[in-house]
Amino acid sequence: MKKIMTTGLALALTSMLAACGANNTATNNTGTNNAAAPEATAAGEPTELVISTWGFSEDFFKESVYAPFEKEHNVKIVVEIGNNAERLNKIRQGSSDVDVVYLSDYYAQQAINEGLFETIESSKIPNIQNIYDIAKAPLGAEYGPAYTIGRLGIAYNPALTQGDVTTWSDLWTKFDKNLAMPAITATAGPMVVDAASLAAGNADFNEDTAFTKLKELDKNVVKYYSQTSEYVNMFGQEEIAGGPIMEMYFKDLQAAVPDAKFVAPSDGAYAVMNTVNVVKGSDNKELAEEFINWQLSEEVQTASAKAKVDSPVNTKVVLTAEEAAGVTYGTDVISKLRKLDMSFVNEHITEWTDRFNREIGG
């Protein structure tokens, strides 16, 4: 049985970039490359760079990510907004002129399989050398890095559970008809399938035992959620005691239930990685690579983390304990994450979705 997990997740921080002797690889204090992309060197009207993204924290991105890059490179950034599926479909259909696209690793793998991304030249994205190994090439060295890593763990209300929650198997024993679980089609859906296999005692992924375990759990599930807001609302109203959720949303749960807890299960929280890539056929490939380099810079990564917008992957980012609260941060945390093999997931997700709907959530 092929493993759903990739191996070799013990991380070592990469060394910082050596001082560069060539002008085309030197970086200035904004983290961008000193050599302006050819598209931006001509005087006059700014080059238009189209970026496809989710649209959350728009003010932060406008002020701290887009505006400095526009000024540095004589660029006008145009943003297209939507969820992963909507935006990927527009690229598939050729109905937009996107240059740079932000996608979760699950959807980015689909785009790679369909030949929708340009390959990148890592030498033109020197800040890749300053990020965690797990983020450098999550879907292959020829494609874009993860610019942020979150973790999927378990949040819970101690007053409504039967003891402390410490492992994935506790989902089966410490919640009584008050559990929320990600829908199979949600980003975390395949992770829950893997967690069920893990809870069944399998070292390697086993689909049959995973679905048997999920069927056992179904009687305690109040809701299979597709939107995190559903989970947050039910948690605040004590309709649920908890369940798997991304750490970045825990602050919303704690605001409603101050005693709430978030745990990274001892058998491993899951890495949730958002990637940034260059779309096939872009007329601004070098400028797009410059933008990716800027997104990975210490300046942007630090600002994103302190604003609680994105967890940092740049290893130079230093946060206080208060700044790191609710953020997936640090070598010790990152090194313990479980990472799904997204190529394997994409091969099987249709089958898993059909099986889930037929046996559990139908």
Alpha carbon 246 to its chain centroid, in Å, reads 10
Q: Which of 18-27, 38-47, 283-292 has the lowest mean pLDDT?
A: 18-27
CB atoms within 10 A of CB 314: 23
Mean pLDDT to the nearest integer, 99-119: 96
Q: Render pLDDT for 47-99 as a digit per residue (tens, 0 to 9).
A: 999 999 999 899 999 999 999 999 999 999 999 999 999 999 999 999 889 99
Return the pLDDT at 17.
Answer: 29
Query: For a pLDDT cut of 70, what percent of the chain falls above it?
Result: 88
Q: Render pLDDT for 151-170 as a digit per residue (tens, 0 to 9).
A: 999 999 999 999 999 999 99
Class of the CATH domain delimited by 151-270+341-359 = alpha beta
Mean pLDDT to the nearest integer, 122-132: 97
Per DSSP (E only), the strands in the chain are 47-53, 75-81, 100-104, 146-156, 179-182, 221-225, 242-246, 261-263, 270-278
What is the per-residue burial (b if ≥16 Cβ within 10 Å, else e) of 258-272? eebbbbbbeebbbbb
pTM to 2 decimal places: 0.82
Q: Which of 14-18, 61-65, 167-171, 209-213 has the lowest mean pLDDT?
A: 14-18
Question: Is residue 5 predicted with pLDDT exceeding 80?
Answer: no
Owner of token pair 């007329």: 283
Residue ranges matching CATH 3.40.190.10 in the chain: 23-149+273-328, 151-270+341-359
Return the pLDDT at 22.
Answer: 36
> Which two three-digit tokens encode residue 58?
């728009």
Q: Render pLDDT for 220-246 as a digit per residue (tens, 0 to 9).
A: 999 999 989 999 999 999 999 999 999
Return the pLDDT at 76.
Answer: 98
C-alpha to C-alpha distance for 58 and 208, rounded to whole angstroms: 42
Q: How confident is the model at residue 7 (pLDDT cuts 50, 70, 90)?
A: very low
Q: Render pLDDT for 279-318 as a digit per residue (tens, 0 to 9).
A: 999 999 999 999 999 999 999 999 999 999 999 999 999 9
When the candidates are 3.20.20.150, 1.10.10.60, 3.40.190.10, 3.40.50.300, the CATH number that belongs to 23-149+273-328 is 3.40.190.10
